[in-house]
Chains A and B, each alone.
Chain A
Amino acid sequence: MNKQTKKKLGISAYIFFVLLPIYWLLNMSFKSNEEILGTLTLWPENFTFDNYAVIFTDPTWYMGYVNSMLYVTMNMVITLVVALPAAYAFSRYKFTGDKHLFFWLLTNRMAPPAVFLLPFFQLYSSVGLFDTHLAVALAHCLFSVPLAVWILEGFMSGVPREIDETAYIDGYSFHKFFIKIFLPMIGSGIGVTAFFSFMFSWVELLLARTLTSVEAKPIAAIMTRTVGATGIDWGVLSAAGVLTIIPGLLVIWFVRNHVAKGFALGRV
């Protein structure tokens, strides 16, 4: 039992380390700026929702969340739609140049977003997509699609070929088989892929900020305006930060039963 207790202590200590900075942000978001800049208190003494009220009553603030959610959702949908058939092809068939193509896709995941900054800006401006949600979604696809194909390929390879063949013998067409039989079988893989696309697109700022100006500006870029002439509005900044954590929490709650397999990208 001694060993078990030690393990519990260790993991609790690590989780404490993970949660403490987040707690501090939460703590600050319920304080007024006077209290934040006054003496250091471990919990809010004059509990206030004012900072959240600022965000929820000002459209330029809350539209930032809407914009971010919009392009993240578009990114997840586009990623899944193009990655599913491709992953199926890679897991089931040999075709000319398949290995090279797979490696080429992965190299895109290795490109630093900063490299694509200027050309993306010019490309999307020239096709008239600048400052739209679609531009950000497409730009993020470059990084989420390779990973999605990789994860889905791992999950699909775990489904035996015989299932495909039996379905064809039973008279299923490819489309019907793929949607009705195959997709439900790799449900957890799809969940995890969506999770990874969300994870990339929701946290990324550099490209999202460069490709937008007003209409599709993400929340992360709007947050910078808490820095004003009178200094930083710490309370509102913390509240905005706390609100960006909530969508992530919801997503992780939905995929919690699949993370164990999914984090190994379907490869254990």
Chain B
Amino acid sequence: MNKVENNKAWFLVLPVVLLVAFSAVVPLMTVVNYSVQDIFDVNTAYFVGAEWYREILQDPRLQDSLVRQFIFSFFVLLIEIPLGIAVALMMPTKGRGASLCLILLAIPLLIPLNVVGTIWQVFGRTDIGLFGWALTSIGIDYNYASNPIDAWFTVLLMDVWHWTSLVALLCYSGLRAIPDAYYQAASIDRASGWAIFRYIQLPKLQSVLVIGVLLRFMDSFMIYTEPFVLTGGGPGNSTTFLSQTLTQMAIGQFDVGPAAAFSLIYFLIVLLVSWLFFTTISHLDKAK
């Protein structure tokens, strides 16, 4: 669409700019401020430059949770994106069945994050939870509270349960937008099921998949409440992700300076990786 050049449009965006400036710029400047100062009390603060950044980058706690965070987000994308596409392909296309599927699939998306944690905390327990009880009764030694591998497995399973629906619903809406003529042409050409998927459905899903991958990456990278409720970050530190490390530092120990430096590095990583995803995918798009 050709847009009209009109700077009066600024008046229409002004409310958003003011609101976001109040709730983003002011706090962000506070964080920047903290990250370069050593603050003892309201009146005594020293400028320390990049000191906190140097300290925090060498902190093994940060390094470890960063590695865990990347592994977690990698597995989340690896499992949820293909599974979401598969679920979307299996969904009925019209009628009551379609609405029912949409509603049932969307349920996990609307449960408060700590309740999601609670559901799986209960569900995975070997004494009162169906899942843990079922695994133990078929002879698998499962305990998410003491075995790091089981804890990881449960956290991942919980995230798959929680968010695959989002990818599925995105893909479902992408699939519904493909005109019937495409499928008719394919059936005249006697295209196989795989060919229809590879050459018609997948390319048409690209724009929704970009949204899906971005949202899933960002949100899995910021995950806090669910693993915190489920495992408390344990056993040991095995499921402590970045947000939890940061919260421990900022609220638990009041290390404001290092926590602020950490915050900015964290934010920049999310920005950078999201930008990388976005440009790579849109470049692939142009190359075709």
Question: Could you list which residues of chain A lie within 8 angstroms of chain B, going by C-beta atoms?
Answer: 3, 7-8, 10-11, 14-15, 17-22, 24-25, 28, 36-37, 40, 42, 78, 81-83, 85-86, 88-96, 98, 101, 105, 107-120, 122-123, 138-139, 141-142, 145-146, 149, 157, 161, 198-199, 202-206, 210, 219-220, 223-224, 234, 237-238, 241, 244-245, 247-249, 251-253, 256-257, 259-265, 267-268
A117 to B250, CA, bound (A): 8
Q: Is B15 in contact with A82, judged by CB distance below 8 angstroms?
A: yes
Could you name 19 residue pairs across A and B whose Cβ atoms are closer than 8 Å?
Answer: A7-B90, A18-B105, A18-B161, A85-B13, A85-B15, A88-B12, A93-B6, A109-B218, A111-B267, A114-B224, A116-B27, A117-B251, A120-B23, A157-B1, A206-B224, A237-B118, A245-B107, A249-B110, A260-B173
Q: Is A112 in contact with B27, judged by CB distance below 8 angstroms?
A: no
Q: Is B112 in contact with A161, judged by CB distance below 8 angstroms?
A: no
How close is B165's CB to chain A, nearest CB, in angstroms?
7
Q: Is A92 in contact with B27, judged by CB distance below 8 angstroms?
A: no
How close is A215's CB to chain B, nearest CB, in angstroms?
20
How close is A201's CB to chain B, nearest CB, in angstroms?
10
Given B86, B101, B112, B218, which contacts A15 in the complex, CB threshold below 8 Å? Answer: B101
- Residues of chain A within 8 A (CB-CB) of B9 are 89, 92-95, 98
Any chain A CB within 8 A of the CB of B72?
no
Q: Is A252 in contact with B103, judged by CB distance below 8 angstroms?
A: yes
In this complex, the interface size class of chain B, counting residues with CB under 8 Å from chain A, is 35 or more
Q: Is B130 in contact with A24, judged by CB distance below 8 angstroms?
A: yes
Q: Is A119 in contact with B28, judged by CB distance below 8 angstroms?
A: yes
Which residues of chain B from 82 to 109 have any CB-CB distance to chain A below 8 Å in the complex? 86-87, 89-92, 99, 101-109
Any chain A CB within 8 A of the CB of B40?
no
Q: Which of A37, A78, A105, A206 has the most CB of B within 10 A?
A: A206
Any chain A CB within 8 A of the CB of B170?
yes
Q: Is A14 in contact with B87, judged by CB distance below 8 angstroms?
A: yes
Q: Is B102 in contact with A93, judged by CB distance below 8 angstroms?
A: no
A21 to B246, CA, bound (A): 30
A45 to B250, CA, bound (A): 47
Any chain A CB within 8 A of the CB of B225?
yes
Given A138-B23, A252-B110, residue A149 in contact with residue B16 (CB < 8 A): yes
Any chain A CB within 8 A of the CB of B221?
yes
- Residues of chain B within 8 A (CB-CB) of A244 are 111-112, 115
Q: Is B173 in contact with A261, judged by CB distance below 8 angstroms?
A: yes
Look across to chain B and name the residue whose beta carbon is closest to the beta carbon of A101.
B13
Any chain A CB within 8 A of the CB of B240?
no
How close is A193's CB to chain B, nearest CB, in angstroms?
13
Given contacts A17-B161, A115-B264, A263-B173, 12 further A-B contacts (CB under 8 A): A22-B108, A40-B128, A96-B10, A98-B9, A117-B251, A119-B30, A198-B110, A203-B113, A220-B114, A220-B115, A224-B114, A245-B110
Q: Is A15 in contact with B3, judged by CB distance below 8 angstroms?
A: no
Binary A-proximity of B20-34 (CB < 8 A = 1, otherwise 0): 101110111011001
Given A10-B86, A11-B91, A92-B9, residue A112 in contact with residue B222 (CB < 8 A): yes
How close is A212's CB to chain B, nearest CB, in angstroms?
14
